[in-house]
Structure 1
Amino acid sequence: MEQAYNFDTVSQYNDFNNHETLHPLVSIIDFSKANKRTGSRMTFGLYCIFLKEIHCGDLKYGCNYYDYEEGTLVFISPGQVIDVENKVDIYQPMGHALVFHPDLIKGTALAKTLDEYSFFGYNTNEALHLSKKERKIVFDCFSKIESELSHAVDKHSKRLIASNIELFLNYCERFYDRQFITREHINKGILERFEEELNSFFASEKPYSIGLPSVAYFADALHLSPNYFGDLIKKETGKTAQEYIQNKIIDIAKNKIFDSEKTINEIAYELGFKYPQHFSRLFKQRVGYTPNEYRNLN
C-alpha cells in the first residue's frame, strides 16, 4: 500500500532521510544514507531540487511521469504532490537534493527574484538533463552550501546560504538554455503542433464556447506545463506565447475583415472576444488602424 508523507519542515525531511539537521531552514540530502523504501506519495511545503544519479524510483506528478534519469535535476516548489513509484517493492534511493524552507530567503535578494526561475513551475517530462561537466558544477554548488551549513550559524549565514542557492539557480538557468538548444528538433515539433492547435481552435466553434484561448489552454493541449511551454516559445520565436497567440488572432482578423458581409462585431465574436471594443483596441495597437479603417484602406 502506498504511504503518504507531508514534509512542511526541513527537519522532517532530514529525519525521513537519516540526516542531522544542521540548519532549521535548509539542508543538503545524500539519499544513500536513507533507509530503503517502497512507493510513496509526498507532499512538500519546501523547495526541493533533486539530483538523480542512478535509476531508482520514478517520480510521478499528476498523471504524467517526470523525464527523470541519471544526471537529472527536478525542481519542486511548495504545495506540489509527488508520487514515487518503483518496479520493485523495496528500493534504495540514491542521489542528492537541496531542500530549503520559503522562510530561508525572506528578506534576501533571492526572495525578489525567485519567481523568475520559471523551472520551478515545470512539471512533466521537463526535467533538466545534465552533462558530466554540469553535474560537477552542481556538486560544487552543493558543496559550498554544505560547507556553510557546517559553520556555526551567525549573522552572515542566511545571506551567504541564500547567495549560494541563487548562484546554483543561475547555473540551472544557463543549463536549461543549453537544453532548449540541444533539443531544438523536439522543440520545433512542439512549435509546429502549437501552430496546428491554433489553426484548429479558430477553425472550430470553440471561440464561441471558450472565448479567447489562454497560454495554459495550449500548454495543456500539448501536455506541457504553462511555464515550460512559455519559455520554449519565447526561446524559439523571440515572442511570448501570449504575443504569438495574439499575432495569430490579428492574422485571422485581417482575412475576415476583407469579408464585407460581416460586421466588425461579428468578427470579434467569431474570434472569441466577449466585447467587440476589446478586439478593436487590440487590432489598433497591433496594426495601427481600427478594423473599420483597415477595411476601408483595403
Structure 2
Amino acid sequence: FLPGDTARHHRAVILDLLQEALTEAGLTSQDVDCIAYTKGPGMGAPLASVAVVARTVAQLWNKPLLGVNHCIGHIEMGRLITGATSPTVLYVSGGNTQVIAYSEHRYRIFGETIDIAVGNCLDRFARVLKISNDPSPGYNIEQMAKRGKKLVELPYTVKGMDVSFSGILSFIEDAAQRMLATGECTPEDLCFSLQETVFAMLVEITERAMAHCGSQEALIVGGVGCNLRLQEMMETMCQERGARLFATDERFCIDNGAMIAQAGWEMFRAGHRTPLSDSGITQRYRTDEVEVTWRD
C-alpha cells in the first residue's frame, strides 16, 4: 500500500471506527482510562494521521495520552495471549526482523536484518512470480511452498545474530527468470526454497540469542509469525533445546489495534504519560529506546 493512500483511508474511517468500537463495547468516553496510539516505527503519513486524532480525542475527553512502540505492542500482546513470561522474541513482519530479549527495563535487540525485512523479501518475490495479494502475498507463498519438491540452493547470510535478505532476493529473482524458462524448477519449488532458507536463518539467530540469554522460551510475533512452516521449524529447534515455543494465530500476529491498547495499558499502569509536546511520530522508533518500567 502507498503511504498516501493508506493515510487517506485512515482519515476517512477512523472517527466512525472509534464510535463503532465504543458502541460494540457498550462504553462511553467516561469509561475510557487513556488514549494509546502508535508512535512508530512505520510509514510517516498513516502514523501522523492517527496521531492527530489521538491527540485531539485525548484533549476533548481529558484523558492521558500514550505513544506506543509498534514492536512492543506485538510483544506485549504475544505475552498476554500465550502466557510466555520472559521469552526470546522473534519479531518478523513486512517492515521488521529482530531477535529481542528483555533485560534491565529494556527490550534489547540481539540481532536484526541489516537490509530488508523477511516479510518484504517474501512480498517482493511474490511480485516476481505475479502471485496474488489476496489475502496476502506471504500466505500465498506459504501455500505454494507446500507443493514444492525441489530445494534450490540459495545464498545463506547470517552474520553473528544479524541476517541479510537482499542478496537472497536478488539471487532468486535472477534464478526465477532462468530456471523457470528452462523448466529446471517450478514456481512452487522456488517458494519452497526461499521459505526454507530464510526461515532456517531466523531459527539460527533465535537459537543463538536463546543460548546467549539462557532462555527456555521463544515467542514469535509479527505478520510472518502466522506462517505455519516457520512455527514448525521453530518448534523443532525448541524441542531440541528442551525449550517452549509460543505463537499466536493470525488474529494477533498481524498488526491490530488491540496490541497497541495492551501495550498502552501496561504503560499507563506503570505511570507513563506522553506530553503533547512529544506526541508526534517517529518513523524509525527503535524497540530498545523504550524504558519498560512495567516489568521487573
Q: Please, what TM-score do these two structures have when normalized by structure 1? A: 0.28
Higher RCO by CA contacts (8 Å cutoff, separation 6 or greater): 2
**Structure number, greater radius of gyration:** 1
TM-score (norm 2): 0.28
